[in-house]
Amino acid sequence: MTDAIIPVGHKPIVARSAVATGVLELSTDSADAIRNGLVTKGDVLEASMVAAIQAVKETPRSIPHCHIIPIEGCSVSWDWENNALRCTVRVSAHWKTGVEMEALCGVSTGLLCAWDMVKSLEKDSKGQYPSTKIRDIRVLEKRKDEAQD
């Protein structure tokens, strides 16, 4: 039988951090509505930031093999690349295992929240999303300090 959750009790507590990013491709109408605060559901970047932070904190609920980690820091930034919205999430903790899955969950959820808030603008006449997509979700950086004796 294999361990469903990898034992980490023997590992030292050290500083760990991760940065993840991803992109949501949007229509010009959606990008303009977000930039000008005209989205019916509210402030897309603010709501999506909160969603990303919440996802970071709740990662073990979504990914069953992840350990519960005492998150010490989380930041979310948004950047425009023409009509594409980039979300970057930084997570830090002192713990026995890394926080890259938390950063990835934050990015994914932040981008999904943004899409949800503008989906009425993104749909075509048939109710489909011909050009909306989330792409390039990845870990940019993962750090782990050396254990102190």
pLDDT attached to residue 1? 55
Residues recorded for the chain:
149
Span 11-16, average pLDDT: 88
pLDDT attached to residue 70? 95
Q: What is the dihedral of CA 74, 147, 139, 43, to 10 degrees?
A: 0
124 a catalytic residue: no
Q: What is the DSSP string of 110-121?
A: HHHHHHHHHHHH
pLDDT attached to residue 82? 96
Degrees to nearest 5, angle at CA 140 with 100 and 63 = 25
Span 31-42, average pLDDT: 97
Residues of the chain with pLDDT > 70, as a percent, come to 95
Span 71-100, average pLDDT: 96
Q: In what order do the strands lie in the sheet with 84-95?
A: 73-81, 84-95, 14-25, 133-144
pLDDT attached to residue 114? 98
Residue 101 has pLDDT above 60, yes or no: yes
Residue 143 has pLDDT above 70, yes or no: yes
CATH topology of domain 14-144: Alpha-Beta Plaits (3.30.70)
Sequence ranges of the domains in the chain: 14-144
Query: Which two structure tokens, joined as six digits, stand for 105?
Result: 């969950």
- The per-residue pLDDT of the chain, averaged, comes to 93
What is the distance between the alpha carbons of residues 132 and 31, in angstroms, rounded to a whole number?
11
Catalytic residue of the set 3, 79, 116, 149: 116
Residue 3 has pLDDT above 80, yes or no: no
Q: What share of the chain is helix, strand, coil (3-state, %, to 5)?
A: 35, 30, 35
* Contact call for residues 107 and 23 (beta carbons, < 8 A): no
Residue 69 has pLDDT above 80, yes or no: yes
